Amino acid sequence: MESTIKPALYIVATPIGNLSDITLRAIEILKQVEVIFAEDTRTTSVLLEKYQINTKLISYHKFSDNKKTELVLEYLNNSKPVALVSDAGTPLISDPGGYLVEKARKEGFEVVPIVGACALIALLSSIARLDEDFKFIGFISRNKNQIIDTVKQNRFENLIFYESPKRALSTLEIIKEINPNKKIALARELTKKFEEIKTDSVSNLIEYYKTNPLKGEIVIMLHKDRKDELKESGRVEINLDYNIEKLKKLNLKDKQIASIISTLFEVNKNNVYKRCIELS
Ligand code: SAM
Protein backbone atom coordinates (compact mmCIF):
# COMPACT_ATOMS: atom_id res chain seq x y z
CA MET A 1 0.00 0.00 0.00
CA GLU A 2 1.30 3.47 -0.92
CA SER A 3 1.93 5.47 2.29
CA THR A 4 -0.02 8.73 2.54
CA ILE A 5 1.24 9.82 5.96
CA LYS A 6 4.00 12.33 6.58
CA PRO A 7 7.43 11.06 7.63
CA ALA A 8 7.54 11.26 11.42
CA LEU A 9 8.05 9.18 14.53
CA TYR A 10 4.55 8.08 15.53
CA ILE A 11 4.14 7.16 19.21
CA VAL A 12 1.19 4.80 19.03
CA ALA A 13 -0.93 3.76 22.02
CA THR A 14 -2.10 0.14 21.97
CA PRO A 15 -4.65 -1.66 24.22
CA ILE A 16 -4.02 -2.37 27.92
CA GLY A 17 -5.95 -5.64 27.81
CA ASN A 18 -9.01 -5.51 25.62
CA LEU A 19 -7.75 -5.72 22.06
CA SER A 20 -10.66 -3.63 20.81
CA ASP A 21 -9.28 -0.59 22.63
CA ILE A 22 -7.33 0.84 19.73
CA THR A 23 -8.26 3.83 17.60
CA LEU A 24 -8.98 3.73 13.87
CA ARG A 25 -6.19 6.24 13.42
CA ALA A 26 -3.72 4.00 15.27
CA ILE A 27 -4.60 1.08 12.98
CA GLU A 28 -4.20 3.29 9.91
CA ILE A 29 -0.82 4.59 11.08
CA LEU A 30 0.43 1.09 11.94
CA LYS A 31 -0.56 -0.04 8.44
CA GLN A 32 1.15 2.86 6.72
CA VAL A 33 4.46 3.28 8.52
CA GLU A 34 7.54 1.71 6.98
CA VAL A 35 8.37 -0.15 10.19
CA ILE A 36 7.00 -0.61 13.69
CA PHE A 37 9.50 -0.61 16.56
CA ALA A 38 7.95 -2.71 19.34
CA GLU A 39 8.90 -3.42 22.95
CA ASP A 40 8.11 -7.11 22.39
CA THR A 41 7.52 -8.18 18.81
CA ARG A 42 5.61 -11.33 19.91
CA THR A 43 3.08 -9.31 21.94
CA THR A 44 2.61 -6.79 19.13
CA SER A 45 2.24 -9.56 16.52
CA VAL A 46 -1.00 -10.67 18.21
CA LEU A 47 -2.44 -7.18 17.76
CA LEU A 48 -1.19 -6.84 14.20
CA GLU A 49 -2.70 -10.17 13.29
CA LYS A 50 -6.09 -9.19 14.67
CA TYR A 51 -6.15 -6.04 12.52
CA GLN A 52 -4.47 -7.60 9.48
CA ILE A 53 -1.49 -5.28 9.64
CA ASN A 54 1.49 -6.63 7.73
CA THR A 55 4.04 -3.95 8.55
CA LYS A 56 7.60 -5.00 9.35
CA LEU A 57 8.32 -5.32 13.10
CA ILE A 58 11.64 -4.62 14.81
CA SER A 59 12.22 -4.89 18.56
CA TYR A 60 12.95 -1.77 20.60
CA HIS A 61 13.02 -2.28 24.37
CA LYS A 62 14.61 -0.70 27.40
CA PHE A 63 17.84 -2.66 26.90
CA SER A 64 18.12 -1.69 23.23
CA ASP A 65 21.48 -0.08 22.52
CA ASN A 66 22.25 3.16 20.71
CA LYS A 67 22.45 1.28 17.42
CA LYS A 68 18.69 0.65 17.57
CA THR A 69 18.04 4.34 18.13
CA GLU A 70 20.36 5.12 15.22
CA LEU A 71 18.38 2.70 13.07
CA VAL A 72 15.12 4.54 13.84
CA LEU A 73 16.80 7.84 12.99
CA GLU A 74 18.10 6.37 9.74
CA TYR A 75 14.53 5.59 8.63
CA LEU A 76 13.50 9.13 9.54
CA ASN A 77 16.51 10.56 7.69
CA ASN A 78 15.34 8.69 4.62
CA SER A 79 11.90 10.32 5.03
CA LYS A 80 10.29 7.05 6.08
CA PRO A 81 7.51 7.19 8.72
CA VAL A 82 8.07 4.88 11.69
CA ALA A 83 5.98 3.89 14.70
CA LEU A 84 6.94 3.06 18.27
CA VAL A 85 4.65 0.84 20.35
CA SER A 86 5.04 -0.72 23.78
CA ASP A 87 3.57 -3.95 25.11
CA ALA A 88 0.48 -2.18 26.36
CA GLY A 89 -0.95 1.31 26.58
CA THR A 90 0.89 4.51 25.84
CA PRO A 91 4.62 4.31 25.11
CA LEU A 92 6.87 6.35 27.43
CA ILE A 93 4.34 6.03 30.29
CA SER A 94 6.46 3.68 32.44
CA ASP A 95 7.56 2.22 29.12
CA PRO A 96 10.62 2.65 26.88
CA GLY A 97 11.03 5.43 24.31
CA GLY A 98 12.10 8.53 26.24
CA TYR A 99 15.66 8.47 24.91
CA LEU A 100 14.49 7.84 21.36
CA VAL A 101 12.02 10.72 21.44
CA GLU A 102 14.69 13.02 22.85
CA LYS A 103 17.10 12.10 20.04
CA ALA A 104 14.45 12.38 17.31
CA ARG A 105 13.38 15.81 18.54
CA LYS A 106 16.96 17.02 18.85
CA GLU A 107 17.57 16.05 15.24
CA GLY A 108 14.50 18.00 14.16
CA PHE A 109 12.15 15.11 13.34
CA GLU A 110 8.47 15.36 14.04
CA VAL A 111 7.13 13.21 16.88
CA VAL A 112 3.40 12.55 16.61
CA PRO A 113 1.34 11.08 19.49
CA ILE A 114 -1.38 8.67 18.43
CA VAL A 115 -3.46 8.65 21.58
CA GLY A 116 -5.25 5.75 23.24
CA ALA A 117 -5.32 3.52 26.29
CA CYS A 118 -3.33 4.29 29.42
CA ALA A 119 -3.89 2.54 32.76
CA LEU A 120 -3.46 5.59 34.97
CA ILE A 121 -5.89 7.66 32.89
CA ALA A 122 -8.39 4.78 32.89
CA LEU A 123 -8.27 4.72 36.69
CA LEU A 124 -8.57 8.50 36.97
CA SER A 125 -11.56 8.57 34.65
CA SER A 126 -13.51 6.05 36.70
CA ILE A 127 -13.20 7.29 40.29
CA ALA A 128 -14.68 10.31 42.04
CA ARG A 129 -12.18 12.96 43.08
CA LEU A 130 -12.73 16.26 44.78
CA ASP A 131 -9.80 17.85 42.97
CA GLU A 132 -8.46 17.72 39.43
CA ASP A 133 -4.80 17.52 40.35
CA PHE A 134 -2.78 14.33 40.71
CA LYS A 135 0.81 13.16 40.77
CA PHE A 136 1.96 10.06 38.88
CA ILE A 137 5.25 8.43 39.93
CA GLY A 138 5.36 5.34 37.69
CA PHE A 139 6.19 2.15 39.62
CA ILE A 140 6.50 2.71 43.37
CA SER A 141 9.75 1.66 45.04
CA ARG A 142 10.17 -1.88 46.38
CA ASN A 143 12.00 -0.60 49.44
CA LYS A 144 9.91 -0.19 52.59
CA ASN A 145 11.64 3.00 53.82
CA GLN A 146 11.33 4.59 50.40
CA ILE A 147 7.65 3.69 50.22
CA ILE A 148 7.16 5.30 53.64
CA ASP A 149 8.98 8.46 52.55
CA THR A 150 7.05 8.66 49.27
CA VAL A 151 3.68 8.23 50.96
CA LYS A 152 4.44 10.73 53.73
CA GLN A 153 5.97 13.33 51.44
CA ASN A 154 3.01 13.16 49.07
CA ARG A 155 0.21 12.99 51.60
CA PHE A 156 -1.42 16.13 50.23
CA GLU A 157 -1.35 14.87 46.65
CA ASN A 158 -3.59 12.41 44.82
CA LEU A 159 -0.70 10.03 44.30
CA ILE A 160 -0.90 7.44 41.51
CA PHE A 161 1.49 4.58 40.94
CA TYR A 162 1.82 1.22 39.21
CA GLU A 163 2.46 -1.83 41.37
CA SER A 164 3.12 -5.51 40.79
CA PRO A 165 0.55 -8.01 42.09
CA LYS A 166 3.33 -9.74 44.07
CA ARG A 167 4.02 -6.68 46.18
CA ALA A 168 0.66 -4.89 46.19
CA LEU A 169 -0.64 -6.31 49.46
CA SER A 170 2.58 -5.64 51.35
CA THR A 171 2.62 -2.08 49.97
CA LEU A 172 -0.93 -1.62 51.27
CA GLU A 173 0.22 -2.94 54.68
CA ILE A 174 2.99 -0.32 54.77
CA ILE A 175 0.49 2.42 53.91
CA LYS A 176 -1.80 1.14 56.66
CA GLU A 177 1.04 1.49 59.19
CA ILE A 178 1.31 5.17 58.24
CA ASN A 179 -2.42 5.87 58.19
CA PRO A 180 -5.01 3.07 58.51
CA ASN A 181 -7.73 5.41 57.23
CA LYS A 182 -5.90 6.45 54.07
CA LYS A 183 -8.43 6.50 51.25
CA ILE A 184 -7.37 4.42 48.27
CA ALA A 185 -8.58 3.69 44.76
CA LEU A 186 -7.27 0.44 43.35
CA ALA A 187 -7.96 -0.81 39.84
CA ARG A 188 -6.91 -4.20 38.59
CA GLU A 189 -7.19 -5.85 35.20
CA LEU A 190 -8.65 -2.72 33.59
CA THR A 191 -10.52 -3.40 30.34
CA LYS A 192 -10.20 -7.17 30.90
CA LYS A 193 -12.58 -9.92 31.97
CA PHE A 194 -11.79 -9.63 35.69
CA GLU A 195 -11.69 -5.83 35.82
CA GLU A 196 -12.27 -4.53 39.34
CA ILE A 197 -12.14 -0.97 40.65
CA LYS A 198 -12.46 -0.43 44.40
CA THR A 199 -12.26 2.66 46.57
CA ASP A 200 -12.10 2.38 50.35
CA SER A 201 -9.80 2.92 53.32
CA VAL A 202 -6.56 0.98 53.12
CA SER A 203 -7.60 -1.12 56.16
CA ASN A 204 -10.89 -2.17 54.56
CA LEU A 205 -9.18 -2.94 51.26
CA ILE A 206 -6.62 -5.19 52.96
CA GLU A 207 -9.47 -7.10 54.61
CA TYR A 208 -11.21 -7.45 51.25
CA TYR A 209 -8.10 -8.71 49.45
CA LYS A 210 -7.48 -11.30 52.15
CA THR A 211 -10.39 -13.27 50.72
CA ASN A 212 -10.31 -11.89 47.14
CA PRO A 213 -6.73 -12.38 45.97
CA LEU A 214 -5.11 -9.31 44.49
CA LYS A 215 -4.07 -10.65 41.09
CA GLY A 216 -3.38 -9.22 37.67
CA GLU A 217 -2.22 -5.77 36.60
CA ILE A 218 -2.69 -3.07 39.17
CA VAL A 219 -2.79 0.71 39.38
CA ILE A 220 -3.30 2.50 42.69
CA MET A 221 -4.23 6.01 43.73
CA LEU A 222 -3.78 7.28 47.29
CA HIS A 223 -6.32 10.03 47.77
CA LYS A 224 -4.80 13.17 49.20
CA ASP A 225 -5.24 13.80 52.92
CA ARG A 226 -7.46 16.81 53.40
CA LYS A 227 -6.02 19.40 55.76
CA ASP A 228 -9.42 20.34 57.22
CA GLU A 229 -10.30 16.70 58.01
CA LEU A 230 -6.87 16.10 59.47
CA LYS A 231 -7.15 19.11 61.73
CA GLU A 232 -10.49 17.93 63.01
CA SER A 233 -9.17 14.47 63.76
CA GLY A 234 -5.97 15.90 65.24
CA ARG A 235 -3.81 13.77 62.97
CA VAL A 236 -1.71 16.76 61.88
CA GLU A 237 -0.14 16.62 65.32
CA ILE A 238 0.77 12.95 64.83
CA ASN A 239 2.88 13.82 61.78
CA LEU A 240 4.37 16.93 63.35
CA ASP A 241 7.46 15.18 64.70
CA TYR A 242 8.25 13.66 61.32
CA ASN A 243 8.08 17.04 59.59
CA ILE A 244 10.09 18.80 62.28
CA GLU A 245 12.84 16.21 62.07
CA LYS A 246 12.98 16.46 58.29
CA LEU A 247 13.39 20.24 58.47
CA LYS A 248 15.93 19.99 61.27
CA LYS A 249 18.05 17.87 58.95
CA LEU A 250 18.18 20.90 56.62
CA ASN A 251 19.74 22.88 59.50
CA LEU A 252 16.80 25.25 59.75
CA LYS A 253 16.30 27.16 63.01
CA ASP A 254 13.37 26.20 65.25
CA LYS A 255 11.63 29.51 64.50
CA GLN A 256 11.92 28.95 60.77
CA ILE A 257 10.62 25.41 61.15
CA ALA A 258 7.66 26.66 63.18
CA SER A 259 6.83 29.24 60.50
CA ILE A 260 7.05 26.76 57.66
CA ILE A 261 4.95 24.08 59.35
CA SER A 262 2.31 26.46 60.65
CA THR A 263 1.92 27.93 57.16
CA LEU A 264 1.79 24.59 55.39
CA PHE A 265 -0.46 22.77 57.83
CA GLU A 266 -2.38 25.70 59.28
CA VAL A 267 -1.48 24.80 62.86
CA ASN A 268 -0.51 26.99 65.79
CA LYS A 269 3.05 28.33 65.34
CA ASN A 270 3.84 28.50 69.06
CA ASN A 271 2.85 24.89 69.59
CA VAL A 272 5.11 23.82 66.75
CA TYR A 273 7.95 25.92 68.17
CA LYS A 274 7.50 24.31 71.61
CA ARG A 275 7.60 20.87 70.03
CA CYS A 276 10.78 21.80 68.12
CA ILE A 277 12.47 22.63 71.41
CA GLU A 278 11.25 19.40 73.01
CA LEU A 279 12.74 17.43 70.13
CA SER A 280 16.14 19.20 70.31
N1 SAM B 1 2.33 2.17 29.15
C2 SAM B 1 1.36 1.57 30.04
C3 SAM B 1 0.18 2.55 30.23
O4 SAM B 1 -0.02 3.38 29.34
O5 SAM B 1 -0.53 2.45 31.20
C6 SAM B 1 1.97 1.16 31.35
C7 SAM B 1 3.11 0.20 31.18
S8 SAM B 1 3.81 -0.37 32.68
C9 SAM B 1 5.23 -1.22 32.10
C10 SAM B 1 2.79 -1.72 33.11
C11 SAM B 1 2.01 -1.45 34.39
O12 SAM B 1 0.89 -0.63 34.10
C13 SAM B 1 1.44 -2.71 35.00
O14 SAM B 1 2.38 -3.38 35.81
C15 SAM B 1 0.28 -2.14 35.82
O16 SAM B 1 0.76 -1.59 37.02
C17 SAM B 1 -0.21 -1.02 34.88
N18 SAM B 1 -1.23 -1.56 33.98
C19 SAM B 1 -1.09 -1.90 32.69
N20 SAM B 1 -2.23 -2.41 32.21
C21 SAM B 1 -3.11 -2.41 33.22
C22 SAM B 1 -4.46 -2.84 33.35
N23 SAM B 1 -5.10 -3.40 32.34
N24 SAM B 1 -5.06 -2.68 34.54
C25 SAM B 1 -4.41 -2.12 35.59
N26 SAM B 1 -3.14 -1.70 35.52
C27 SAM B 1 -2.50 -1.85 34.36
DSSP β-ladder status, 35-38 and 56-59? parallel
Local structure of residue 139 (DSSP, 8 states):
E
Task: Decide whether any atom of ligand 1 lies within 6 Å of the 195 Cβ.
Answer: no
Q: Tell me the best of 23, 61, 93, 94 to mutate to test the pocket of ligand 1, counting ligand atoms within 8 Å of each CB and taking the most.
A: 94
Ligand 1 pocket residue status of 15, Cβ below 6 Å: no
Q: What is the Cα–Cα distance from 58 to 69, expressed in whole angstroms?
A: 12
What pLDDT does residue 240 have?
Answer: 85
Question: 14 CA to middle of ligand 1, Å?
Answer: 11
- The pLDDT value given to residue 130: 82
Question: Residues 46-60, buried b or exposed e (16+ Cβ, 10 A)?
Answer: ebbeeeebebebeeb
| Planar angle of CA 217, 218, 222, nearest 5 degrees | 175
| Residue from 11, 16, 139 to probe ligand 1 pocket by mutation (most atoms less than 8 Å from CB) | 16
Whole-number pLDDT of residue 65: 76
Question: How many degrees, rounded to 5, is the angle at CA 90 between CA 18 and CA 116?
Answer: 60
Q: Is 76 in the pocket of ligand 1 (CB under 6 A)?
A: no
Q: What is the pLDDT of residues 216-271, one digit of tens each?
A: 999 999 999 986 555 545 555 557 888 899 999 999 999 999 999 888 887 788 88
Exposed / middle / buried, residue 253 (Cβ in 10 Å: 0-12, 13-18, 19+): exposed
Nearest CA to ligand 1 atom 8: 94
Distance (Å) from CA 215 to ligand 1 centroid? 13
Give pLDDT, residue 62.
82
Q: Which helix (H) or strand (E) holds 59?
A: strand 56-59
How far apart are alpha carbons 45 and 31 in whole angstroms? 13
Cα of first residue to Cα of last residue in the chain, in angstroms, is 75
The number of the ligand 1 atom at minimal distance from the alpha carbon of 195 is 24
Specify the pLDDT at position 265.
80
How far is ligand 1, taken at its centre, from the CA of residue 83, in Å?
20
Residue numbers of the chain with a pLDDT score lower than 50: 232
**254 ligand 1 Cβ < 6 A:** no
**pTM greater than 0.75 (yes/no):** yes
| Gap from CA of 252 to ligand 1 centroid (Å) | 41
The Cβ-side half-sphere exposure at 215, using a 13 Å CA radius, reads: 6
Determine the pLDDT at residue 233: 52
Is residue 94 a contact partner of residue 138, using CB atoms and an 8 Å limit?
yes
- Comparing CA positions, the residue from 259, 267, 263 lying closest to residue 236 is 267
Query: Can you give the pLDDT at residue 3?
Result: 78
